[in-house]
Structure 1
Amino acid sequence: MKLKRGLGKGLGALLSPEDIYDLESPGSFLCPIEKIRPNPDQPRRRMDHDSLEGLAGSIREKGVLQPLVVREVDGVYELIVGERRWRAAQKAGLKAVPVVIKDVSPDELLELALVENIQRDDLNPLEEAMAYGRLVNEMGLTQSQVASRVGRERSTVANFLRLLNLPDYAQTDLLDGRLGMGHARALLMLEDPE
């Protein structure tokens, strides 16, 4: 059975199609960029510099087309979705960006940030494995529940979670792109006592 890689419970749970492009909707406004802070639970450990520069160029030319999703915390706005756009907007020299404010708990913030980033094709395999691990360990979800929420097979989630058993040097190489997923899985077989 092939599962659809949609946003599952991620971004669709936060925004209606109207919210995405309508700054007139409640909770939407242009926010000063310095009032926004990154999400400390961002699963992405590295952002590709060239890709960010390309996005900054696009933003200079066309602006930020889709609002960032934030929550208000102590007078500032913490990102839920849109950290790449926020960083690129800073590089592009923007002073304000469109945002939509959503009221979410810290647990919901963690889950939404992880699920939304897992859905992206450019997430590194180890980052994806770490995100699944956090959903299991911090949210108390089973592998089947994680798979359902992110639109993956349970076996795929299990295989990614196994990457967390790699030795530190192999995890670093996988994160840096010096080790591919296939080689990492082969290493697991060698390192696995069974």
Structure 2
Amino acid sequence: MARKTGLGTRGLDELLTAQRKASESHRAEELRQVPVEQIQRGRYQPRVNIRAEELQELADSISAQGVIQPVVLRRVDGGGYELIAGERRWRAAQLAGLHEVPAVVREIPDQAAAAMSLIENIQREDLNPLEEAGALARLIEEFGLTHQQVADAVGRSRAAVSNLLRLRDLSDVPRALLEAGELEMGHARAMLGLAEADQAAVARKVVNNGLNVRQTERLIKDWGKSKPAPPQASTDVRQIETDLSERLGARVKLQTKSNGNGKLVIEYNSLDELDGILAHIK
């Protein structure tokens, strides 16, 4: 399975140096006015949703004062530019009726451009925790960075990075409530040890009752005490797990529900092991 080559320690150091210089001043770079229609959305933009009210407020500010901070762009093949940072400003400027925006154009290779886009957005934009977690995960998965390297790149502790990444394991209901701002990160972290159905029930109860994080932790601590113990896997299920594990050379779990639905989970510890599993399946 192909994977992008990591930036490595030297590449990361160079990237961080470029980030520091860029944040100190734009004076050494050419500031220009770029037509908004020549700019395309960045491929590595981590922010999924921008509220219409938020864009309108920024558009009103731009109408009154103009775009104070330039957007950051890179050239793309065939002409035009790709956004590295400043999507809200670009979209709000169009909403305000501007035909051009001030921009700094940097000549940087694809990998550095992608990493810089993610890092600058994490540092500067008001991302929700799940968007930030997604951006951090892409730095790790697509550029081969460690948790510590990502923490250094975005100015966070390693523990903070790890906690954000764990939010990606949330089920749909708490994810949606977290994205909407109805749950805080502390609420969501407390729910990670629960089953999917329990996460949904607890999340709704927290929102409906306005529970704080400590109250949520107490609720979760008592949540399973009155519930019956889960049924043991049947002999047939265990045998199927054993047979599949032997065939695929990996640990296999069957998670069955009373209504007949379920999940087949295949675990692997490396990309090489995953390649071996896929070869057996093919």
Range of TM-score over shorter length = 0.7 to 0.9
Q: Answer yes or no: is the 8 Å Cα contact 2:26–2:104 preserved in 1.
A: no
2: distance between equivalents of 1:142 and 1:169? 30
Corresponding position: 1:41 with 2:41? no
2: distance between equivalents of 1:129 and 1:185? 13
Counting only pairs closer than 5 Å after superposition, residues 1-194 of structure 1 correspond to structure 2 as 11-14=19-22, 16-19=24-27, 27-73=30-76, 74-120=78-124, 122-191=126-195
Where in structure 2 are there 5+ consecutive unaligned residues? 1-15, 197-282
- Report the residue type matching 1:151 in the other structure: G
2: distance between equivalents of 1:181 and 1:9? 31
How far the C-alpha of 1:81 sits from its partner, in A, is 1.1
1: distance between equivalents of 2:18 and 2:122? 9
1: distance between equivalents of 2:137 and 2:147? 9
Q: Answer yes or no: is the 8 Å Cα contact 1:125–1:181 preserved in 2.
A: yes
| TM-score scaled by length of structure 2 | 0.59
Where in structure 1 are there 5+ consecutive unaligned residues? 1-7, 20-24
For residues 70-89 of structure 1, the C-alpha deviation after alignment (integer angstroms, 9 at most, x for no partner) is 11112011111111110110
- Which of 1 and 2 has higher RCO (CA within 8 Å, sep 6+)? 1
Secondary structure of the structure 2 residue equivalent to 1:75: coil
- Report the residue type matching 2:63 in the other structure: R
RMSD over aligned Cα, in angstroms? 2.1
Larger Rg computed on CA atoms? 2
1: distance between equivalents of 2:29 and 2:35? 18
